Structure 1
Amino acid sequence: MNALLKRVWIGLAAALIVSLAAAVMPDRIQVGDDGRIHLGAPAPTPSPSAAVPTPESTSPPLTRDAVDEVIRTAVSAAGLDPAQGRPTGAAGADSNRTGWMAVREKSAAQSDMNAICTDLERQGWTPNPNGDRADASRSYQRGGWYLLVSTRGKTQAPSTASTLTDSQTYLTLTGLRLNLSDIPLPEITVRIG
C-alpha cells in the first residue's frame, strides 16, 4: 500500500511541476488532451477562436545602453525628468538588467504609465497580449529584452526605498534580457497515468 501511495504522490507532484512549467513556457511545454506531455515540441495549432499573440518584431538584439536610452526617451516623452527618478541597476553591474523608478502621486501615476507605454510602442516595442493589467502593469518585448512598466504601492516597495505616503506610489520600468530559445530542450513525450 505504501508503494502505491508513493507512486500516486510522485505522479501528482510531476503533474503539478509540468503544469507550472507549461504555464511559464507555453511555447516549449505542452500537455495534450490525452495526458501526454511534450517538451521542446512545436506548439500545437491554436483553434480559430483563440486569440493569436502578436509576434515580436524582428529587430536586432539590443544592448543594455540602448535599452537605457529607450527608458530615458519614454520617461521624457511622458513629461517626466529621468534625473528625478533613480536607476534600478548600477551601470555596468549587470548587462542583462536595467530599469528606472520614481515616486509619483497616485493621481498622476496612471497617466504617466500610459504615456510611457505609448512612447514604447512608438519606439517599436511589441506589447504582450497576455497577462497584463492595464491599470497596474504592462510588458513589452524587443531585441531580446523585456520591459515591464508598472505602478506599485507600499506593499511591493523595494526594501531600500523611502517610505511612501498614502497618496503616493512607485512608477517603475524594469528591463530584462532573456533568451529562452537558448535553453536546449530535447523533444520528449511523457505519459502520466
Structure 2
Amino acid sequence: MNALLKRVWIGMAAALIVSLAATIAPDHVQIGDDGRIHLGAPAPTPSPSTVNPEPESTEPPLTRDAVDEAIRTALASAGLDPEQGRPFAAGAASKRTGWTAVREKNAAQAEMKAVCADLERQGWTLNPDPRGDRPEARSYKRGGWYLVVNTREKTGAPSTTSAPTGAEADLTLTGIQLNLSDIPLPEITVRIG
C-alpha cells in the first residue's frame, strides 16, 4: 500500500510541476505524443503535434521611462488624470513600475477598457491568459515588459473621485520587465503513464 501511495504522490507532484512550468513559461514545455513532458531547451526531435511558440520579438527593449510614458498616455486617453492616482515608487533603473487609483466600480471597468484599447493602439500585444478571458484583468507585452491592467472591488477606502460612492474598485496598471530567456531551466523529461 505504501508503494502505491508513493507513486500517487510522485505523480501528483510531477503534474503540479508541469502545470506550474506551463503557466510560467509555456514556450519551454513540450508534451510529446508518447506522453513524455520535456522542460527546458526544446526537445531534440519534437513531435508534429507540439505547438510551436511565437518567435521572440525583435523589437528593442523598452526603458522604464518609456513604459511610464505609455501608462500616462493610456490613462489620459481613458479620460483619467495620471497625477490623481498613485504611481509605484521605484528608482529609474527599476524593473517595476505602475499606477493605481480608487475609482467608482462601474467607471473603473469602462476606464480599464479604454486604457487597454490605447495600449493596443500604442503597439502593446495582448498576452492571452491560459485560464481564459478575465474581464477584470488584461496582460500585455512589449519590448521585454509585461503590463497588467486590472480592476479589483474595494470597500471603505478613500476615493480619488470627486463624489465617492459605496461601490469602488482599484484600477491598477503594473509593469514588470521580465526576460524569460534569461532564466535557465534544467532539462527534465518526465514519463507519465
Partner of 2:94 in structure 1?
A: 95
Task: List gaps (5 residues or longer) in structure 1.
Answer: none
- Counterpart of 2:16 in structure 1 is 16
Cα 1:133–1:105 shift into 2, 3 Å: farther
Partner of 1:121: 120
How does the TM-score come out when normalised to structure 1? 0.79
Within-5 A mapping of 1:13-162: 13-42=13-42, 57-87=57-87, 89-92=88-91, 95-131=94-130, 133=133, 135-154=135-154, 162=158
CA contact (8 A) 2:104 2:165 kept: no
Contact 1:146/1:178 (<8 A) preserved: yes
Unaligned runs of 5+ in 2: none
SS at match of 2:107: helix
Q: Deviations over 1:55-87 (max 9, x none)?
A: 665321111121111111111111111010001
Percent pairwise identity: 72
Amino acid at match of 2:98: G
Indicate the SS of the match to 1:95.
Answer: coil
CA deviation map 1:131-179 (0-9, x unaligned):
4646311111001000011111128x9xxx6488532111111101111
Alignment root-mean-square deviation, CA: 3.0
User: For residues 133 and 55 of structure 1, what CA distance do their matches in structure 2 show?
Assistant: 23
Give the aligned length.
185
Query: How has the CA–CA distance of structure 1 residues 62 and 153 changed in structure 2, closer, same or farther, with 3 Å as cutoff?
Result: same
